[in-house]
């Protein structure tokens, strides 16, 4: 690189409210075109998990959920609706911590997050305003990212990478940040170990969470507007194309000093 490295992130307006069964790739493609963005090879499309989950029909109505004893007990501890807790448990491998308002779990997808990523979410149409609808994470966010990537390539001809992201709280630090939960065509973990540093005399020991850094970057734009901007287009970031899943970002419980 000789000139200035420049990365541009664009959050197109005009994404409609997404409903179960919607063709998400078509909605994204249309919104990008309307914003004057023509997708190119090497671009990255970052998508908030909520619209992926909605398109995939991951809405559940609490009226249909019958909490068991474990859920009712945990619900008292966490001061939450036992039906919601039943769904949280069904989406989780195990509960790590509980405090009023939050149940920190190891999600079935492997990451640690609050309330299994389930949210009383915005629901469009006839169900709007009905607090009994909640939204689960996508069944297989890596698969969702792969399908979106392939569909966008068919529609536009361009081979872009796709990230599906969510916002997670963290140990030690306040504030949620964007993190990757699904990826296609992007190296979420960049292994710099063995590369020489600036002076050529020392080997680096770092693995960089590049996917999470990009998720955080895109998340800034998604949160910038009260109307919601669930899609962010990224251009200019150099990265080696790889087909690893987002799971390379997950530290196993055995390797983790804080679980």
User: Which residues, 134 to 173, sit near a copy of itself by CB under 8 A?
Assistant: 167, 170-173
Q: Does 177 bind a copy of itself (CB under 8 A)?
A: yes
Task: Return the H-helix or E-strand segment holding 244.
Answer: none
Q: Is 59 in the site for a copy of itself (CB under 8 A)?
A: no
Q: Which is nearer to a copy of itself, 48 or 67 (CB)?
A: 48
145 vs 140: CA distance, rounded Å: 9
Closest by alpha carbon to 95, among 79, 78, 83? 78
Here's the x/- map for a copy of itself, 95-134, by CB under 8 A: it reads as --x-x-x--x------xx-------x-xx----xx-x---
- x/- site string to a copy of itself, residues 184 to 223, per CB under 8 A? ----xxx-x--x-xxx-xx--xxxxxxxxxx-xx-xxx-x
Q: Whole-number minimum distance, CB 82 to a copy of itself, in Å?
A: 19
Within positions 24 to 43, which residues make up the interface with a copy of itself, using CB under 8 A? 35-37
Query: In the bound complex, what is the minimum distance in angstroms from residue 178's beta carbon to a copy of itself?
Result: 6
- Provide the minimum distance between the beta carbon of 150 and a copy of itself in the complex, in angstroms, as a whole number: 25
Select 66 or 174, whichever has its Cβ closest to a copy of itself: 174
Contact call for residues 74 and 103 (beta carbons, < 8 A):
yes
CB of 38 to a copy of itself, least distance (A): 13
Site for a copy of itself, residues 239 to 258, rule: CB under 8 A: 248-251, 256-258
The residue among 4 and 63 lying less far from a copy of itself, judged by its C-beta, is: 4
CA distance 55 to 63: 21
Nearer to a copy of itself, 89 or 179 (CB): 179
Helix, strand, or coil (residue 191)? strand
Closer residue to a copy of itself, CB minimum distance, 110 or 143 = 110
**Nearest C-alpha neighbor of 91 from the set 65, 127, 69:** 65
Q: Nearest approach, Cβ of 110 to a copy of itself (angstroms)?
A: 10
Centre a 10 Å sphere on the Cβ of residue 205 and count the other Cβ atoms it contains.
10
CA distance 105 to 111: 8
Choice between 159 and 259, CB closer to a copy of itself: 259
Q: How far is CA 78 from CA 88, 103, 130, 207, 258, in A?
A: 12, 7, 22, 36, 21
Nearer to a copy of itself, 5 or 69 (CB): 5
Task: For the chain, state the CA radius of gyration.
Answer: 19
- Which 62-91 residues touch a copy of itself, going by CB under 8 A? none
Q: Are 151 and 139 in contact (CB under 8 A)?
A: no
Give the binding-site size for a copy of itself (rule: CB under 8 A): 81
Question: For residue 169, which phi and psi values (nearest 5 degrees)?
Answer: -75, 175
Asked if 77 contacts 98 with a C-beta cutoff of 8 angstroms, the reply is yes
């Amino acid at each position: 690189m000789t000139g200035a490295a420049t990365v541009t992130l664009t959050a197109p307006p005009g994404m409609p409210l997404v409903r179960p069964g919607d063709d998400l790739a078509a909605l994204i493609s249309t919104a990008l075109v309307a914003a004057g963005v023509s997708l190119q090879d090497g671009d990255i499309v970052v998508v908030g998990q909520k619209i992926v989950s909605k398109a995939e029909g991951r809405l559940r109505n609490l009226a249909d959920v019958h909490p068991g004893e474990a859920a009712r007990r945990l619900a008292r501890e966490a001061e939450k609706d036992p039906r919601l807790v039943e769904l949280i448990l069904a989406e989780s491998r195990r509960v790590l911590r509980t405090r009023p308002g939050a149940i920190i779990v190891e999600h079935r997808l492997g990451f640690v997050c609050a309330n299994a990523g389930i949210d009383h979410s915005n629901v469009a149409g006839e169900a709007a305003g009905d607090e009994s609808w909640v939204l689960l994470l996508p069944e297989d966010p890596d698969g969702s990212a792969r399908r979106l990537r392939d569909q966008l390539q068919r529609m536009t001809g361009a081979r872009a990478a796709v990230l599906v992201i969510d916002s997670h709280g963290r140990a030690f630090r306040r504030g949620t940040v964007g993190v990757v939960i699904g990826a296609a065509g992007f190296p979420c973990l960049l292994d710099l170990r063995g590369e020489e540093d600036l002076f050529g005399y020392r080997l680096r020991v770092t693995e960089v969470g590049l996917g999470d850094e990009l998720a955080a970057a895109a998340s800034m734009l998604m949160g910038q507007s009260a109307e919601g901007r669930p899609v962010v287009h990224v251009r200019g970031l150099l990265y080696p194309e790889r087909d690893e899943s987002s799971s390379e970002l997950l530290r196993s419980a055995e390797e983790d000093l804080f679980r």
